[in-house]
Amino acid sequence: MGRIGFLNRLIRQKTTTRNLFHFGKAKGDTGKYEQIVSTGLVSPERCVPEEIEKPAYFFKNLPPGNTLGTPEIKTKDQIDAMRLSGRLAAKILRECGKLATVGRTTDQIDAFAHERILESKAYPSPLRYAGFPKSICTSINNIACHGIPDDRQLANGDIINIDVTVFFNGYHGDCSETFLVGDVDERGSFLVEATKYCLDQCISLCAPGVEFNEIGKFIDRYCDEHDLASIAAFIGHGIGSYFHGPPEILHYYNEFPGKMQPGMTFTIEPILSLGGADIAVLEDGWTAISLDGARSAQFEHTILITETGTEILTRDR
């Protein structure tokens, strides 16, 4: 989940030389797939036992966290706690991915994730965050992100991003992956593979002293080379005891200042499209779809900047 701070960036973007949506519409074949044009039936909110530690937004409707400001430098104890939350999120995500099969509904995947997270004595972070009604996000085909699990059955040839975040021992761990459902066409498979590689390369750039904007600059070049577009409306973000905080990780060319320092933790989560970069949000206030109907894929990790490089906290090992 990474749309926080978007309006602030739109205002600040006026001071830069590149336009936020400079990628425009990519040319070429977008492949064969079932386009999502409306949302399905969303089941009632799932219960959370009293003994599960909950974030403040569970008890009171709060706005999204602010991603502007000075990034937090984590202590050793905080980092150790985030290793646990990140590892749990990655484990749940891997298990959810096995359920991304033809005929299964995203609501069923949400129910599974909800129960597995509770069994682990953790809280599903998306639930009630700024009013989000479910425990994970499930985004299919032309849904860019923040898809709400519902009663639609997964179809042969779908691609689906599953976004899992857990709140465990007071800290959030956040990750996502795009999975292939059944027999996915060549263009869809290319998109998923290319997006995963893009995230891996972004992570490899990170180290103490590196400018945050190197991530966006790389994504810009990568998309130009592969005839893709970055859906730049959504960002990576700082994370810790808070779900979203500074720094902002922008997935498009930018020259905003800021350097990585040891002890910083944040997500990188590019969304790449076979079509254009423009999106619209449906009436539910969350589901973001591509305006041109093209498919997109997303991969996400929570990372730690170490003294010598990076550590992926959301790696299931």
Query: What confidence score (pLDDT) does residue 316 get?
Result: 82
**Which has the closest alpha carbon to 231: 274, 266, 287?**
274
Residue 183 marked as a ligand binder: no
Residue 172 marked as a ligand binder: no
Query: What confidence score (pLDDT) does residue 30 get?
Result: 84
The two tokens of residue 305 are 């900047």
The two tokens of residue 304 are 């730690």
Residue 22 marked as a ligand binder: no
Architecture of domain 72-312 in CATH? Alpha-Beta Complex (3.90)
Question: Residue 190: what are its φ and ψ, rounded to 5°?
Answer: -60, -45
The amino acid at residue 12 is R
How far the first Cα of the chain sits from its last, in Å, is 23
**pTM of the shown model:** 0.91
Query: What confidence score (pLDDT) does residue 28 get?
Result: 63
Query: What confidence score (pLDDT) does residue 18 get?
Result: 28
The amino acid at residue 225 is E
- Residues in the chain, pLDDT under 70: 1-28, 317
Spatial neighbors of 252 by CB under 8 A, at least 6 apart, are 18, 20, 22, 23, 216, 219, 220, 230, 232
Distances (CA, A) of 146 to 31, 83, 133, 286: 23, 25, 11, 6
CA–CA gap between residue 14 and residue 250 (Å, rounded): 15
Residue 72 marked as a ligand binder: no
- For the beta sheet containing 279-281, the strands, ordered from the edge strand earlier in sequence to the opposite edge, are 143-145, 288-290, 279-281
pLDDT digit string (tens) for 109-146? 999 999 999 999 999 999 999 999 999 999 999 999 99
Query: What confidence score (pLDDT) does residue 317 get?
Result: 67
Match 């810790």 to its residue by tokens. 240
The two tokens of residue 50 are 């009293």
Distances (CA, A) of 148 to 8, 120, 125, 138, 160: 25, 23, 14, 6, 12
Residue 251 marked as a ligand binder: no
